Structure 1
Amino acid sequence: NSGGHSSQPREDNAIYELGDALKKIQQFRFPVMWNDITLRSFAVDAETADDETAVALRRFVEKPGDKKALKTLEKQTGLNSVLRTTCVATMLKAGHAENALPQTATATVNCRIFPGVSVADVQAELARVVENDAIEFVTLDDPVESPASTLTPEIEAAVLNALKTRYPNIVAVPYMEAGGTDGLHFRRAGIPTFAIGSLFLREGDEPNYHGMNENLRVDAFNGGLDHWSLIIKELAGKPAASE
């Protein structure tokens, strides 16, 4: 906006315009999506979920996209994050002085994009939702797109065998995580890539991931090394299935 002295407010105000746009983004929901991994994880999650969630999970697995099931599942942030692409405002920067009208306002909107959806499509959809040509959408850095990997029998067997050796009563569940990974570069190159957790926590543990005082028990750390050793030894040196 053109700005000016705060003693003379104007109709055009960058902060208000951006606020209106962010409110529209907050209220918008991207279309629901699913893949083999998410459906498989939902089926297993249903075994330990509360009654209402369990019914919704099973209903969604039987009929992906079911609206009645969605009403229950999307209320839970953990489940909603893997049901669709999500975009949320995380940072704001606006104005240049306390007694001046803002000329610019900027927001960082962090998007977790469902595999198979392009960055350009998400950007275009946000612009459509906001409906304000004065607001410009710019991607930070150079985002890399990659497809989801299909879980291979060899990888799954190695994980299950390692788990059986250390914790035979624990069930392994493949799932899709709404997080970033360097593995996307390998997947983009056609190399199936998976993240395998090796840290086992006890009830009451509070590792506080990415927060202040991030921590982990020493025995959990050392046990994680043992877990990786079992998996790597089983997979290392094995010929590819096509050989």
Structure 2
Amino acid sequence: MSRNDVDETDWAAFDRFIETLPALYPALHGALEREQHGHSLLYRWPGSGDGAPTVLMAHYDVVPATDDGWTHPPFAAELTGSGAERLLWARGTLDDKGAVVAILEAVEALVADSFVPANDVYLSFGHDEETVGSGAQALVAALRDRGVRPGFVLDEGGAVVERIFPGVAAPIAVAGVSEKGITSVRLTVEQRGGHASTPPRMTATVRLARAITRMNAKPFPARLSETNLRMVETLGAHATGPLRAVFVRARRLQPLLRAVFARLGDETRAIVRTTTAVTQLSGSLAANALPETAEAVVNVRIAVGSSVAETLEHLRKAIRDPQVRIQAVDPSEPSPVSPSSGPEWDRLAGAIAAVHPRAIVTPYIMLGASDGRHYTAIADAVYRFTPFEMSAEERGTLHARDERIHVATWLLGIRFYERLLRAS
């Protein structure tokens, strides 16, 4: 498990994982070169040519979990059911150890089959994606120092999903061509403390609460990026029902479309605007003492086309209180947009179509953050796609209880990586 406080991390568990891999994948470890950067791993599979290499990414750390509330313990990796309903229950099955192991399985099978890629292939496995992503940054730095500039990078991200777009019944393979920026914004109020029996009219916590209320009352403006428009046009062509007429005329009807997306649900609303979520609050250390410092941490996901600076300016205008200090912590700008046409995109779309022939493949902007954003420093084509079918219920288990994956879809994921690698 990744923890923000590295001193609380059980590094022995990470070491055991790394030490066990050669025994589980002997063919891979016989053919590929492996190096370790901290607890992150970088494999190089030499190709027969000298063209731009491929990078397949995943991370093997997971968010913390306890047994409380889980149907099956989160680290027991229990199998249940049979046939199409056979399930593997464990933290990380979807995010993101399932992809790590699917990549390893695909490479092991291809090496055993004497396959040699046309160009070098790198496997990049980060160890702290769920916290700060320092592992991926170290791997990118190592490749940059060697002059390696990948032609194609694939990390976790979108998946094969259903019923996420109005009027579209077919499965949809959403492949991220960019991702939102991310920052934690700390709202801090510092005031004189004292005994809670004689409070001032405006305590630090009240001032902070007012700031949060004002922020929520002024959402960021809705926008449709070029990627958003392409997604709507792609999916709109397959839609039925009254909204189809709007979707196929997305460019001409942008004001109406923005309003529709802002009202359909949480996921669609997040597609078109920068979002804020207050995730942590702190105040006094005692029940009968006025807080001298009150603080809120706001998780902000910054829309493509915006910036950290624009985000902070919007918050200052919304909160309208100079006594509330607004500070961005570990800010990361929205990622550059990768091509959604051309050979790199076609390679990705072809591999998806080979394994999920019914799926409509569309570009989209990933709402979460991934280690892939670090690779944009050395590559122009960085995609975010996890080759698993995920129902709405299963997507709801990401970073939550009862995370699980259908064994059948995990096996399809292995086939996807095999197909993608054969096109390397």
On whether the aligned pair clears a TM of 0.5, the verdict is yes
Runs of 5+ consecutive residues of structure 2 not aligned to the other structure: 1-190
1:72 is paired with a residue whose SS is helix
1:202-221 to 2 correspondences below 5 Å: 206=394, 208-221=397-410
User: Equivalent residue for 1:13?
Assistant: 203
1:151–1:49 Cα change, 3 Å: closer
Task: Quote how far apart the aligned CAs of 1:48 are.
Answer: 6.1
Task: Quote how far apart the aligned CAs of 1:106 are.
Answer: 0.7
1:107 is paired with a residue whose SS is strand
1:183-222 to 2 correspondences below 5 Å: 183-189=372-378, 191-201=380-390, 206=394, 208-222=397-411
User: Equivalent residue for 1:177?
Assistant: 366
149-158 or 138-147: bigger deviation: 138-147
Aligned residue identity for 1:226:
R
Instruction: Render the CA deviation track for 1:57-113: whole Å, top value 9, x for unaligned.
Output: 445x132641x3333220121111111211221211111210111221111111111
1:122 aligns with 2:338: no
Structure 1 vs Structure 2 CA RMSD: 2.3
1:9-158 to 2 correspondences below 5 Å: 9-46=199-236, 51=241, 53-59=243-249, 61-63=250-252, 65-66=254-255, 68-75=256-263, 76-158=265-347
1:43–1:152 Cα change, 3 Å: closer
> Whose relative contact order is higher, 1 or 2, with alpha carbons under 8 Å and at least 6 apart?
2
1:156–1:143 Cα change, 3 Å: closer
1:33 is paired with a residue whose SS is coil
User: Equivalent residue for 1:240?
Assistant: none
1:10–1:149 Cα change, 3 Å: same
**TM superposition score normalised by structure 2:** 0.50
39-48 or 216-225: bigger deviation: 39-48
Alignment partners' CA distance in 1, 2:198 and 2:227: 57
Alignment partners' CA distance in 2, 1:183 and 1:47: 30
State the identity %: 23
1:188–1:114 Cα change, 3 Å: farther
Aligned residue identity for 2:233:
A
User: Equivalent residue for 2:43?
Assistant: none
Alignment partners' CA distance in 1, 2:342 and 2:201: 62
**TM superposition score normalised by structure 1:** 0.85
1:184 is paired with a residue whose SS is helix
User: Equivalent residue for 1:239?
Assistant: none
Alignment partners' CA distance in 2, 1:89 and 1:24: 13
Instruction: Render the CA deviation track for 1:161-216: whole Å, top value 9, x for unaligned.
Output: 22332232222122112110222222244522111221124x68635111112111
**How many positions carry a matched residue from both structures?**
232
User: Equivalent residue for 1:168?
Assistant: 357
Aligned residue identity for 1:100:
A
1:225 aligns with 2:417: no
Q: Answer 1 or 2: which has greater strand percent.
A: 2
Alignment partners' CA distance in 2, 1:114 and 1:145: 7
1:116–1:205 Cα change, 3 Å: closer
Alignment partners' CA distance in 2, 1:188 and 1:220: 32
Task: Quote how far apart the aligned CAs of 1:123 are.
Answer: 1.2
1:121 is paired with a residue whose SS is helix
Aligned residue identity for 1:123:
L
1:199 is paired with a residue whose SS is strand
1:182–1:97 Cα change, 3 Å: same
Q: Answer 1 or 2: which has greater helix percent.
A: 1
Is the contact between residue 32 and residue 65 of structure 1 (CA under 8 Å) also seen in structure 2? no
